[in-house]
Amino acid sequence: MSATVLEREQESLAAQLLREYAAGSSFFFASPKRTMLARGVFATVPHEGGTDSMAGLPARVAAVLDASREAAHDIPVAVGAVPFDGRVAAQLVVPLTLQRAGPLVFDPAAPAQLPLAAKYTMRPVPEPAAYLDGVAAALKLMQEGPLRKVVLSRSLHLDTATPIDLRQLLHNLARRNPHGYTFAVDLPPGSEPGSGAGTGRRTLIGASPELLVSRSGLQVIANPLAGSAARSPDPVEDQARAARLSTSPKDLHEHAVVIDAVAEALRPFCKTLDVPRGPSLVSTQTMWHLSSRIQGELKDPSITSLTLALAMHPTPAVCGHPTELAHEAIGHIEPFQRGYYTGTVGWCDANGDGQWAVTIRCAEADEHTLRLFAGAGIVVGSTPESELAETEAKFRTMLQAMGLGAGVQP
């Protein structure tokens, strides 16, 4: 069989997996090189109570995978989502079935999908004015103490009159973000963090541009992003924005803080680690980002992709630096709990291989509601107005996938 024929078969299978995704019974994960669809639940990784549910999580995953293999289950992989912090349980399962294919490929000539919500209401939390105040408060903390960076987030609550077609939303996200990590994860029924009201079945859905870490054998790759600028529909202005980002002292500083922390987290596990001397530019349909691809070779083959992910998580790209001070500031300033937003989503197999993306450009969804998230990194030199504008640009990934990009003001 020729390579071309095999590639076409893999493309056809990837498209089929996307069509077969069903909210409530599936895990979907598409990277630039691979598409994965897992269905059903053979076993669930147990949650340990306490304030840090992630302590011992790799060991619990390994134990569940070993037990599944002993029960003659031939799919030794755990899939799912890890939250921002230990106050929320990780949602990781061993599926009943698992199918893999090559990357998703879309016909650029195919017609655009109509809006997925003809009638809707939208409520920002916090309101823009309150977010401006929060950024100002964070900048004051940096002026008065050792805090170097804090990432502050906003959410949008989108309520629709008709049910949301999550399969079509996932398709739209994958089509618009072919170089990212498109995902959909079933979440347990429960409350929106901090609300106290039951919401029934929920789905974590999104298209992240950022790889937290991947492991294949002894090879490790991390690709942190930090420092961002909104894209412009005007090609000349768009390139000007990219050029300004690549030389911006504020954004280069923000990026350096993240790269230093990621390298420091990975170094104890690696016998070699290649850290670029400076960032490169990458783009999505809505944003420019500063990017650094870090590669290493593990010292010990027993170190799993999940162990590496948790050693890095949360990076300064989603929390801040120093981590404890940034986390404390987020708790005081943000008026909601993040839940799985700015956590990590992906998979880990019994050999330790796996891939984990940072859970950004995403929403928690149920039948009639989307709770969208976006954040911005605050460092010395930030202004409240520019950080608010950055969050508005980042919301557009989900809003455009809903067909609501034009004329919508987050």
* Contact between 145 and 350 (Cβ < 8 Å): no
pLDDT digits (tens, 9 = 90+) for 41-68: 999 999 876 556 677 899 999 999 999 9
d(CA 24, CA 43): 16
- Residue 198 pLDDT > 50, yes or no? no
Helix axes 166-176, 3-20, angle to 10 degrees: 140
Round the average pLDDT of the chain to a whole number and report it: 91
Instruction: Give the tokens for residue 369.
Output: 């509601």
265 Cβ neighbours under 8 A, 6+ residues apart: 311, 312, 315
- In the structure, what pLDDT confidence band is assigned to residue 112 with cuts at 50, 70 and 90? low
Window from 107-121, 168-182, 296-310 with minimum mean pLDDT: 107-121
For the full predicted model, state whether its pTM sits above 0.85.
Answer: yes
pLDDT digits (tens, 9 = 90+) for 220-235: 999 999 999 999 999 9
Q: Which residues pair with 35 in a beta bridge?
A: 30, 101
How many DSSP H helices and E strands does the chain contain?
Answer: 9, 22
Percent of the chain's residues with pLDDT above 70: 92
111 Cβ neighbours under 8 A, 6+ residues apart: none
d(CA 154, CA 372): 8
d(CA 304, CA 56): 13
Q: Tell me whether residue 299 is one of the annotated catalytic residues.
A: no
Which one from 192, 210, 334, 390 is the annotated catalytic residue? 210
d(CA 70, CA 62): 12
R_g of the chain computed on alpha carbons: 20
Give the residue from 269, 272, 276 showing the smallest Cα distance to 255.
276
What are phi and psi for residue 153, nearest 5 degrees?
-115, 160
pLDDT digits (tens, 9 = 90+) for 20-42: 999 999 999 999 999 999 999 99
Q: Tell me whether residue 210 is one of the annotated catalytic residues.
A: yes
Q: What is the H or E stretch that residue 113 is in? A: none
What confidence score (pLDDT) does residue 196 get?
35
| DSSP assignment letter at 42 | S
What confidence score (pLDDT) does residue 12 get?
86
Q: Which residues pair with 295 in a beta bridge?
A: 221, 274
Which one from 11, 119, 127, 149 is the annotated catalytic residue? 149
- Angle 21-25-30 from CA coordinates, rounded to 5°: 40
Please provide the DSSP assignment of 235-260 as one string.
Answer: HHHHHHHHHHHHH-HHHHHHHHHHHH
Please provide the DSSP assignment of 115-170 as one string.
Answer: PS-SSEEEEEES-HHHHHHHHHHHHHHHHHSS--EEEEEEEEEEEESS---HHHHH
* Contact between 213 and 221 (Cβ < 8 Å): yes
What are phi and psi for residue 106, nearest 5 degrees?
-115, 150
Instruction: Give the tokens for residue 304.
Output: 């799993």
Q: Which residue has the higher pLDDT, 267 or 408?
A: 267
Three-class SS state of 370: strand
d(CA 32, CA 282): 14
